[in-house]
Amino acid sequence: MREFKYIVTAEDIAEGLDIRTILRRRFTFSARLRSKIKRNRTVYRNGEQTAVWIKPDEGDEIMVAIPDETSYFEPEDVPIYPLFEDEDLLIINKPAGYTVHPTRGHKSGTIANGVAKYMLDTDQSFKIRFINRLDMETSGVLLLGKNQLAQGEVMKQMKADTVTKLYRAIVHGIPEESQGVINEALAYHRDGSLKRVVEDDGKPSETHYRVIETFPAVPGADAADALAQAFSLVELDLKTGRTHQIRVHMAHIGCPVAGDSLYGEILNPEQHELPPKAETTEESGEQEINYRDLPPRISVDAPLIGRQALHSYFTAFDHPVSGERIEVTAPLPDDMVQLLEQLRQRRA
């Protein structure tokens, strides 16, 4: 169990605080977590279990233990690359090609399954609490809380916009400005698919971008020569965290992420004009596309990179317990490094 301690002060005594009030004022536990602690009777005064209505004495040590919890994901051999770890947090460098947790389309082989095996290998037990999410084909910094307090405190910082989240992406084209802000609301696509679109009545979404390096197109190059087209390496600072936000925003300004088969150009658009099968709903009598029956979309960048060139590069936040500023960097993965090397050689 994760333990937290507090020494009762003269000020606490002067205010006549009981242990229940000390839990509320001197610890950063949420109301939900305080209730769980009380139910499990894991509050101790000078090493002995105590009732929370008791008024302590000055100098008493109040110790609170967060009850152990477990997750029930099947342990699987999915690669887990820790970037930072302590009693409260596990921060990993997520490889591309894995969903974060099981879904209807990916019931196994997820990061959650990999963390379950990692716990067995390192003799740990905690409930897997993801603090942020990354798309299946996005790599980079992924945060997990090992207890309810850690997850809740970091998520509070995210809502207060005190967490820095920087991504790096290789995108098509060269933005008109070397840096800028994309402030466009996002909503579900009206066709009912997973796609998001820019809509005035969508959720407010804000992305700051900065161009790091540019690769102009080769003059007179064949349009079919993927490597000869213009590209840029950009850094992106998320001020909101909407689904597919970077991918939609960059496509909106004419610079889709390289390798993005959903928001970029694809090689097989004719196979996506009509679904191979359509479902008729009883309520409306109208046919709805069953997108799971469509063939995989193949990006025009398939010869260059096998997935969207998007990477969660850097995160900084205050540690949920110590308050120390934590900074974590996930180096660019090999596939993005190799694409950049090809672009630099071509430019040279």
pLDDT in tens, 214-231: 999 988 878 778 888 999
Bridge partners (DSSP) listed for residue 63: 5, 44
Contact 255, 172 (CB under 8 A): yes
pLDDT value, residue 280: 47
Contact 184, 205 (CB under 8 A): yes
Domain 68-160 has what CATH class? alpha beta
CATH 3.30.2350.10 residue ranges for the chain = 68-160, 163-264+299-323+339-348
Could you say which of 12, 135, 260, 335 is catalytic? 135
User: In angstroms, what CA-CA distances link 176 with 68, 168, 180, 207, 228?
Assistant: 53, 18, 9, 16, 19
Active site annotation includes 135? yes
Residue (of 299, 347, 262, 305) closest to 169 by Cα position: 305
Q: In CATH, which superfamily holds the domain spanning 163-264+299-323+339-348?
A: Pseudouridine synthase (3.30.2350.10)
CATH 3.10.290 residue ranges for the chain = 2-66
CATH for the stretch 2-66 = 3.10.290
pLDDT digits (tens, 9 = 90+) for 35-56: 888 888 889 999 889 998 989 9
- On the question of pLDDT at 328 being above 90, the answer is yes
Which is higher by pLDDT, 198 or 143? 143
pTM above 0.85, yes or no: no
